Amino acid sequence: MKNCNSVTTPIEKGLKLVKDLAGRIVDSTLYKQIVGSLMYLTATRLDIMHTVSSISRYMEHPREDHLLAAKRILRYLRGTAKFVLFYKKGKKIRFVWLYRQ
């Protein structure tokens, strides 16, 4: 994933993950490690919270489409690594995305 192509969204539009027992089984240890790392990142990257929680439902019996969804989140993070969430002090709280160089 080091030299992967980045994407602009953490999940495909309209993608519905299901507990499909017909799909190809993937290594559950690898999947759990990826999801665990992504859960750790949700403390600072709130934009992936919903997507990570949706893929974490399939930790016991992950299939190939679940792993592909997790890899897409990694590709999204790769493309948005230079963006930061900035909390501006003031009367009204606003979230501002800044591009970090």
Tens digit of pLDDT per residue, the chain (101 long)? Answer: 778 888 988 988 888 888 877 788 999 999 999 999 999 999 888 889 999 999 999 998 899 999 999 999 999 999 888 776 666 666 665 555 666 55
| Residue 15 within a domain | no
Predicted pLDDT at 91: 60
d(CA 10, CA 80): 10
Predicted pLDDT at 66: 93
Residue 78: domain span: 28-99
pTM above 0.85, yes or no: no
| Residue 49 within a domain | yes
| Residue 10 within a domain | no
| Residue 57 within a domain | yes
Distances (CA, A) of 91 to 8, 50, 88: 32, 28, 9
Query: Number of structural domains, the chain?
Result: 1
| Residue 87 within a domain | yes
| Residue 39 within a domain | yes
| Residue 48 within a domain | yes
